[in-house]
Each structure stands twice: as C-alpha cells, then as structure tokens.
Chains A and B, each alone.
Chain A
Amino acid sequence: MRKLLFLFTGFVTSLSAMAVARFPKPDFTSGYEYPDIVHGAPNELLWNVLDIVLLIAMMALVVWAAYKKRSRAVIYSVSFVSVAYFGFFRSGCVCSVGSIQNVVMAVVNPDYHLPWYVLLLFLLPILFALLFGRVFCAGVCPLGALQELVNIKHFRLARSVSATLSIIPWVYLAFTILYAATRSQFLICRLDPFIGIFRLGGDIGMISFGIVLLVMSIFIGRPFCQFLCPYGALLSVFSALSWKKLEITDKGCINCALCGKSCPVDAIRAPQYSKTKENRMKGVHRIIFFAILLPVLTLAGALLIGSQSNALSLAHKDVYLYEQLLQQQAHPNMEESLEVETFHALGGDIDELKAKVDDIRRDYRIYACLAGALIGFVIGFKLLKLSLKRSRQTYEISLARCTVCGKCFNYCPQNKSTQHKQPLISYL
C-alpha cells in the first residue's frame, strides 16, 4: 500500500515537474551537447554504523574498567577518544541527548521516520544504565567527556543548592518533550551549549555559554551533566534501578573517609548511623503528607503550565505565522515580515491556517498539562527524597548521580594495592 502511494506521488510529481519545466530547446547548429554535471554524493551510512559500533565498544570498555579493573586511566582515555571522534570529527550531531526528540516525535507522529541508528543511540545508553549504571555519561558522551577533561579542582556545593538545581534537567526534559511532541521545535538542538565548540563555529551566544560551562567545569565537576542534561535525568532514573551497583572498591569499605570529597558530582554518600529509631508515627505522618503533596504538586504543575499553553504554542511556526498575520491585519502600515510576505505571495488561505492552528493549540493544551504534571511530580519526589534519611554503614555511591568517571577509585586505599603499577596518573 505504501509502495503504491510512493509510486503514485512520484508519478504525479514527475508529471507536474514535466508540465512546469518543459521549455523550447535552443536550436544549436554547432553540435553543442549538454554538459553532464555530477553532484556530490551524500556521505555513506557506514559512518552511522561505525558510530553505533564505537558506542557499544566504548560503553563496554567503561563497564570493564569500572567494575573489573577499577581504573580511572581507561575511562579518561575513553573520554579523549570520545571528544575527538564523537565531538570534533562527527561534530557532535546526532547525539544521544538529542535523540530524545526524535523518539518522541516518532511516538506521536506515525508518519515520522525514525532512523534505526537514532533509535539505538537512544536505547543503548539506557539499556547499559539499566544494567551497569550511567556508563554512557562516563566518557562516551562527548559533552560529558569534554567537561571531564577540564575538571581539575572540585568545590562542593551545598546539598540544598544542588538539589534545587537538579530540578532543572527535568524542566528541560519536560519542555523538550512538549516541543517535540507538538512538532514545533527541537529544543535541545537550539540550546546545546557545546555544539558550537565541536563544530568550530556557530551562534556566539551558544558558544559563550559553552565556554562559561567549561570554565565552571574546572571548579565544579560537570555542571551541564548535573544541572542541565535532560538525558542525564532520564538515565538517572534507570541507573538508580540498575542491576549491578557500582562500588568504589570490591574489597569492602573501611570507612577511611578519603573518597568522601573526591566525587566531582557529589555522588558519594557518607555513612549515617541512625542512633535513635525514628518515631513510627512521624513516619506515618510523613507518608500521608507526601501522599497528599505529590498529587497536589503534580496537579498544580499541570494547571500552571497548561494555562500558559497558548503563549507556549507560539513556538510552532504555523501558530507564529498566524499571529503575525493577525497583527498585520490590525496594523496594515507595519512592515511585513518575510514569512507573511511569502504566505501572501504563495496564495495562502488564512482560514485553512486557522484550522491548523486550532489543532496545534489543542495538542499544546494536552502536552503542556503533561509537562507541567511531570515537573510538579519531580519537585514533589525530590522533596520526598530530601526528607528521607537512609541509614548507611559505609561510604556508598548514589547511583542516580554517579557518572562513572572513576575518580573515586584512585582515592580508595583498598584499590591502591592493585594500582601501584600506575603511579603517574594517581593525581587524576
């Protein structure tokens, strides 16, 4: 059926092309022949296959390095390779972070073709996170790797600050899904701070933001990964439920506290001994409190963002054009923008556009409410987590935050015995 449709449209378009483009041939008497021009062939899809193969290989390598060898050196070298290949050579596009948008569009729009390698770019890091934790973030993601390479010092942020800031990736994710589901914008591609550096050129605002982030990354590890990356937010959920839990050492923690402050993303949790068992009623009160708070926050978020859906819908090209047309009708003396001029020149019908705009706005209402609900839920959940105190006997890694960079391995004295062969990079 689809093949028939394809053939039919091909036939019709070729017919119309023929009808439009027939021209009387100049009568050449000197035997002139038309030149044969060959146009540059597109890059082969082999590159994409190589991308996926390297992705799997590098993630597997990080898994081996983190779990078996506990070696930061390997992870560090993987970061180099990632920045060089995925970053500068492939210009950092298509990246896993952006693949969220493609996947959302494919879910929402049955006509949208999702290339298989984009789907794999989306799924494979998630699968690995489900199995082994955020190994993608470690050194395979070019954005993370770039920040990793410049990280030298590490200042800790107050827990409340980092908790508040960690809501931002979820907000980013919610809006990304909103804009991708309504087919208006690829928000991640718009606001990606590092793509300008990888492409060696681009919008000056984006590049300067990227440089600011890199400078920050010297002192506070991985600001993008912790506080901005929407894919990281997604991975953190899967990583918290991972099958294999990453440990700093396989020989058992001796509570020497050397690793405590070493983590650039604050993922190591110190032991907490709960001396007194908590009053049971307090626990019950807390559960009831959150059982009410979570739905309330979710609903509030949904209503708040949903109410703004009309203002948000201006992100869609057609809605924006429609608003411009209305403005033009209200102020006829105003200079026409290029879009309005083209619309009129191509004989656009404003009623047809209005019908489309109504459809889009209806979509926006639904997805804006969903986005708001997600944000509300996340805020509630984070508050819940903040208020809970888990008892811990030893130093443990909080898997949701850990990006498997391997810095902590070198601090642990239990690991030193296996690593005495590599003294040069112990400062890493």
Chain B
Amino acid sequence: MLSVVGRDLWNMFKRPDKLFYHSRRPQGLTLLKEDDDFVSPYRRVYGFMVPDEICAMEVDGGSIYLATPNNISVYGMSGELQTNFPTPSDLRDMTVHDGLIYALFPTRIEVYNRQGDLTMEWEACSENSDYCSLAVCENGIFVTDASNKNICKYTLDGTLVRFIQSPKGFIVPSYCFGVAYIDGKIYCSNPGRHLIESYTTEGEFIASFGKAGAGAGAFSGCCNPAVLTPSSHGDLLTSEKGIPRISCYGLNGEFRSILLDSKALGGGNAAYDVRVMNDKLIVAGGDKVSVFQYDKRQSQLTLCGQCEEDCPLRV
C-alpha cells in the first residue's frame, strides 16, 4: 500500500502527465488518408490576414475585393487596404462587374460603387428565396436559389427575366451552389448530384459532367463543387468542401489535375474561394488570403506540368 501511495506522490511531483493524462489517440478517425505523394504544382508566395472571416472574394483590375459578414473591403495585391465600407450582415456572395460591386443577400441584391455608395437594390422575386451565389455579365445577373432550387436571371437593373431549371432538377443540400459566367455560357454546380452543368444565357441546358467520389477528378461528399471560377485560358477551376481542394477541368468536362490540395490550402473543412489573376491563384479562406504561383521545379512530376494546354498560369 505504501508503494502505491509513494508512487502516486512521486508521480504527482515529477511526472503529472503520467498520473493525470494519457495521450491515447483513438484510431481510425482520419477519414481519408491524405495522398502523401501529391505535390502541388503551386507554391504559396505570400499572403495576408484580415480581421474577420471571409464570406466571398473577387479579383478585378489588380485589386482584391473581400466580403466579410458586415463589410466589403478592397485590398491591393500586396495586402494594403484601399477602401472599406459597411454592409448589412448576412452577406452571402459578392462579385464585381464593370466597376460595380454586386452584393448578394439571402433575399435581396444590392449594388455599390467603389466608394461604397449604394446605387441600386432590389428584393428577391419570391418570399422564400434563399440566395447562395451570383455571376454577373453584360447579359444579366444570374443568382442561384437554394430553397427554390433554381437559378434566377435578372437584368442589370433588377428586373426578373426568367427562372432556369435543371432538366433533372437541382439538389441543394447546403449553401454550396456555385455559378460562373464563362465564354458566353453559364456554368453552375448541381451539388447534390455532383455535376457541373452548363446553360445558355437564355436558360437552355447544354451539357453536364462530373461524378461522385473521393479521388482526384471526382466530387466528394454530399454537395460539391462549391465554387466555380474560370481561368483566363478558358479552363474551369473548382473548389470543393469537405476535403478542400482546387481542381482544374476543361470546359468539356475533361479533368486536368488537382492544383492545390488540402495541405497546401491550409486544411479545415470549408471550401476556399479561388480566383485567377494573370499567372497567380488567389485563394481566400477563414481570415487569410494567400497567393500561389506556379513553380516549375515543383510541378515537373505533376499532371499540371505535363498538361499540353497553353495555360497562362504556367508561365
């Protein structure tokens, strides 16, 4: 008995971790073994932090536009703050077109100029709309609706033109319903079906591609891809949630490669927002913005390095 007491006392003083703690790590909880062989062809060159969590990001004309829950800020490429103005809370998405900032809220759309003055705003077309993301072109504004499961097209001054339905129906389990305007066509994700679908600006369905799965070239989890953005070359970049990664597809659906995997992006579960600026990838997630550049040496053995496309990213 003395030995037990003595040992306990000794441990209390010298090795409290043995007495009080254990570093048992239950096995089998890492869901997906990270593909340790994967080397990202892009290297993080620099980044900067912002005071709040980033909801949406856009790049236009050399500036980075960031939307945080109550604010829209404009930063220069090296992280210096240029403008900053408040917005109502529950901002969902934001994009920039023709010098105007379009801010999307669950049931309305607001338009600001660069100085932060509200130039236009209008309410959503139906009461139970729940808007997720938007894309703007000279043809109109395309807004994805998660509760009505369709895409609403408005003119640039806010008049509703039409609804766009998917032939098999959109399945939207969560607010990851990305849309982008590329080359005269509308590309959007059908997240529950793990597809990327393309439509004309008049709402006609063109084609769809994509499959479910966790490996490269497929969309993991229940609702992916979350974010779609064009590269300046005419490829499509997707950003997924769950296992965050950024992949590159051709517009016809051909999978090219994964550009940035979870480790390069910084882990976590949420999807990272991504945009292309000339030869750099700008990625925003959490409260950080990172800039990635193609690294010739790193990419020699990657799919990206062996791709035959004439891509401006790989300068």
Contact = CB atoms under 8 A, between A and B. Distances in A.
B124 to A, nearest CB: 14
Interface string A309-347: 001101100001000000000000000011000000100
A171 interface: yes
B173 A23 contact: yes
Interface stretch (B12-20, B113-121, B134-142, B290-298): B12-20
Given A314-B17, A315-B16, A338-B23, A24 B130 contact: yes
Contacts of A216: 1
Contact of A27 (B12, B16, B149, B268): B149
B173 A26 contact: yes
Contacts of B8: 191
A190 B19 CA distance: 9
A306 interface: no
A308 B2 CA distance: 22
A412 B85 CA distance: 93
A212 interface: yes
A216 B8 CA distance: 19
A213 B3 CA distance: 13
Interface string A215-249: 01000000100011000000000000000000000
Most buried by A among B14, B17, B267: B17
A175 interface: yes
A337 B23 CA distance: 7
B21 A308 contact: no
Nearest to A313: B16
A252 B47 CA distance: 91
A104 B173 CA distance: 50
- Interface SS majority for chain B: loop
A407 B175 CA distance: 75
Nearest to B24: A338
- Interface SS majority for chain A: helix
A227 B4 CA distance: 12
Interface in B256-272: 267-268
B16 A314 contact: yes
Most buried by A among B2, B20, B172, B173: B20
A168 interface: yes
A345 to B, nearest CB: 7
Given A24-B130, A209-B4, A320 B175 contact: no
B9 interface: yes
A157 to B, nearest CB: 12
Nearest to B25: A338
Contacts of A27: 149
Contacts of B5: 168, 228
Nearest to A164: B2
Interface residues on A, range: 20 to 34
A285 interface: no
A214 to B, nearest CB: 12
A165 B141 CA distance: 84
A185 interface: yes
A356 B29 CA distance: 31
B173 A24 contact: yes
Contacts of A26: 171, 173
Contacts of B12: 175, 312, 315
Contacts of A25: 147
Contacts of A168: 5
Contacts of B173: 23-24, 26
Nearest to B287: A347
Contacts of B146: 24
Nearest to B132: A24
Given A24-B174, A314-B20, 14 more contacts: A24-B146, A24-B147, A25-B147, A175-B12, A191-B8, A213-B1, A216-B1, A228-B5, A311-B14, A314-B16, A315-B12, A337-B25, A345-B267, A345-B268
Interface of A: 19, 23-27, 165, 168, 171, 175, 185, 190-191, 209, 212-213, 216, 223, 227-228, 308, 311-312, 314-315, 320, 337-338, 345
29 contacts: A23-B173, A23-B174, A24-B130, A24-B149, A24-B172, A24-B173, A24-B175, A25-B147, A26-B171, A27-B149, A165-B2, A168-B5, A175-B12, A185-B20, A190-B20, A209-B4, A212-B4, A213-B1, A228-B5, A311-B14, A314-B16, A314-B17, A314-B20, A315-B12, A315-B20, A320-B16, A320-B21, A338-B23, A345-B267
